[in-house]
Amino acid sequence: MGFFSKLTSKMQERQPAKANVLGQDAVKLNGIKEMDVPNDDEYLKNLIARNKKGDEQIDRINKETQLSKKTGDFTNLINVYEDIIFNEGLCFRGKPHLVTLAELYYKKGEFDRAWGYLSNLGRGSENAEIMDLIRDVQVKILKKEEKYIDALVYQMAALFYQNTNGIKPTDKKIESKLRGLVKKCNLEDKYDYILYLIFNSKYEIDLRHNFKEMLKVKK
């Protein structure tokens, strides 16, 4: 499965809605027409302007995504995403697209750039609903760097956030995400406890602390 197919599939898991090139979370908000808005209602005028801007952003990303799929070059797509995220701000519903920029950095081998961006993205609580996606990309980076213990912890966190966001991962997904890393870390005898931490921790910090204590005992 290619990068763009994986991205679309990821969106489909989150919100069953009308599809487009961007995936299921990118929804144009053009239901309000100018004729419906009183001239003196500044709030609704601003809302219409924002919705129009969001439609334009989606069209820009759709266009550049299609070109990138043909050429295999993500440079212009990265430029579009950076302009929208850092200069304009997302004007459509689709927070997972914030993570798409990190995915593109990763695809270009710009791991430090991706990590720094993801770290900033994960600060605070405003992006809580995409923390699983943030952690997933960080796992990819750590695996590339052969930091398997760290990758395992971040993978546990990704599954933890997916579960707490109400999208319980399937047994097949859990197995595919965890088993290889657990084996790399020589922690196969702790597999059940690792699952316990994922599904019974209250916060990520608790998960990390208890995992660290487990490693101490194992030594």
Q: Which of 121, 138, 167 is the last residue of a domain?
A: 121
Going residue by residue through the chain (219 aa), what tens digit of pLDDT does each one get? 554 444 444 444 444 333 334 444 455 544 444 445 455 578 888 888 889 999 999 999 999 999 999 999 999 999 999 999 999 999 988 899 999 999 999 999 999 999 999 999 999 888 999 999 999 999 999 999 999 999 999 999 999 999 998 888 999 999 999 999 999 999 999 999 999 999 999 999 999 999 999 998 876
Q: How far is CA 166 from the centre of its chain?
A: 15
| Claim to verify: residue 4 and residue 112 sit in the same structural domain | yes
Number of domains, the chain: 2
Residues 25 and 109 in one domain: yes
71 DSSP assignment:
H
Of 72, 94, 121, at which residue does a domain stop? 121
Instruction: Report residue 115 as tokens.
Output: 């990590």
Taking only the tens place, the pLDDT of each residue in 33-63 is 444 545 557 888 888 888 999 999 999 999 9
CA 90 – CA 97 distance, rounded (Å) = 9
Nearest to 16 by CA among 8, 7, 25: 25
| 86 and 154 assigned to the same domain | no
Same domain flag for 56 and 3? yes
11 plus 109 within the same structural domain: yes
Domain containing 11 equals 1-121
What's the DSSP call for residue 169?
A: P
Among 93, 121, 149, which residue terminates a domain? 121
